Structure formats: C-alpha cells, structure tokens
Amino acid sequence: MAQPMKIRATAEGDVVTVKVLMSHVMETGQRKNDKGEAIPAHFIQHVTVTHKGRVVLAAQWGTSIAANPFTVFKFTGGAKGDPVKVTWIDSRGDTRSDEVAIT
C-alpha cells in the first residue's frame, strides 16, 4: 500500500484551503528501463475529496501528472474540527484514503 498522504486543511472564515501531497510513482507507460523494456503504466486515475460526506472535489487524472502529485484547492462551508477525506484510485486498482480535521 502507498505511503500516507500529507494533508493540511485550514479554515479562514467558512473558506477552507486544502493542500495534499500524495506519494505515487505516476508511471506513464512510455519510459523504458535499463534493458529497454517499457515500464508499465501506473498512475492515479481518480481523486475524490469529501467534507462531512459531501464531495468537494472530484478529479480524473492521466499520465501527464508528475510523480508524488501535490494539489491545492479551496471550498466553502467548512469549519474547524470538521473532517476532510481524500481518496485516490490508480490504474491498477490500488486505492488510498486519508482523513484530517480542519484546523
């Protein structure tokens, strides 16, 4: 299983800024190893972020996203102490979910 995500969610009024660093190789399938063999594609395809069960971000990613992706976004309606959950699913069906409380 992948390393835990580093998530920070901070509130200023009712606007919450979420910063997420995901640990993932994000292979495109176009690179070759030392033997000249193609390295199979392995990348995050779907990212979902929920706040108290409500989806606040849904994204579909492809091979153009860099390794260990970092994303930042804002949403309204959050308050300190509320949970924010980030989930991703990759091209091999692996998944990772982590949750943090808004500070």
Does some domain include residue 10? yes
pLDDT at 2 over 80: no
- The total number of structural domains in the chain stands at 1
Q: Is the dihedral of CA 48, 18, 26, 2 positive or negative?
A: negative
List, edge to edge, every strand of the sheet that includes 6-12.
Answer: 6-12, 15-21, 70-76
User: CATH number, domain at 66?
Assistant: 2.60.40.10
40 close to 27: Cβ distance less than 8 angstroms: yes
pLDDT at 1 over 70: no
∠ CA 28-62-101, nearest 5°, is: 115
Q: Which helix (H) or strand (E) holds 73?
A: strand 70-76
Q: What type of residue is 8?
A: R
Does some domain include residue 47? yes
Q: What is the pLDDT of residues 69-100, one digit of tens each?
A: 999 999 999 999 999 999 999 999 999 999 99
Q: Is the pTM of this model over 0.85?
A: yes
Q: What is the pLDDT of residues 26-70, one digit of tens each?
A: 999 999 999 999 999 999 999 999 999 999 999 999 999 999 999
Where in the sequence is the domain holding 60, given as residue range(s)?
A: 6-29+41-101
